Every structure is written in C-alpha cells, then in structure tokens.
C-alpha cells in the first residue's frame, strides 16, 4: 500500500478542552461573579451616601461661618434650598449665659426615599 505523505494522521490522544467542559467552567465563573457584583453595587451606594454626607457637612460649615460673620444680633432663622439639600439655620439665646447665643445649622436631604439630616452647632459671644 502506498502511503500519501500529504495526508495528516488523526491522533486519538487529543489534548485540550471540550465544549462541554468550557460551558461548565463558564457556568461556575458566572455563579461566582454574582456575590462580587452584589458587593460592588452595595459599595457604590455607600460611596454615593458618603459623598452626600460630605457635601452636607461642607454646606453646614459654610452656613455656620456666614452666621458667625454676621454678628451677634444679625443671626436669624433662615432656610435655603441648595440642590438636593435644605439648609435651615438659626440662633437661640443660651439659657445658662445671656451673653452667648447658640447657632445651629441643619442640613437635610433624601437618599433612596429616606430622610437624612446633619446638624452643626456653635456658641457665639457678644462682641
């Protein structure tokens, strides 16, 4: 029998993965990715809330400084809407010391249907 030198011999000991094995691996990887995606989603929400809280703190500090700069008699209750934030500031006499006034700033905002708030307070003396 004459052998054709150009024909390839089929080997019976093939190495590699079958399509079924690859499908099983992809299924296992897909199932393993579900908890990772959940953690990623939750951490994104936490980062967004932390950014909002940081913005609220900056707004409250800025409003408190504006009240302080206005002087002892100029501090009055005021409400300001800045984007998603509502800033309410006010001043009340200190019951323990008539020469002091308590300044307070409360910032409120909604996040995922929940009302969040942050309050900063300081004392101011008559000049």
d(C-alpha 93, C-alpha 73), whole Å = 11
pTM of this prediction exceeds 0.85: no
- Please list the ranges in the chain whose pLDDT falls under 70: 1-14, 71-75, 126-127
The beta-strand segments (E) located in 10-99 are 78-82, 85-93
pLDDT of residue 127: 61
Scanning the structure block, which residue is given the tokens 């009055």?
A: 76
The pLDDT of residue 92 is: 85
């Amino acid at each position: 029998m004459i052998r054709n030198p150009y024909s390839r011999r089929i080997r019976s000991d093939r190495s590699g993965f079958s399509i079924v094995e690859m499908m099983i691996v992809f299924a296992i990887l897909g199932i393993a990715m579900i908890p990772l995606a959940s953690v990623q989603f939750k951490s994104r929400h936490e980062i967004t809330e932390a950014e909002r809280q940081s913005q609220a703190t900056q707004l409250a500090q800025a409003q408190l400084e504006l009240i302080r700069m206005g002087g002892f008699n100029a501090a009055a209750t005021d409400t300001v809407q800045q984007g998603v934030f509502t800033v309410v500031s006010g001043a009340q006499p200190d019951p323990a010391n008539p020469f002091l006034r308590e300044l307070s700033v409360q910032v409120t905002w909604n996040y995922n249907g929940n009302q969040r708030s942050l309050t900063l307070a300081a004392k101011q003396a008559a000049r």
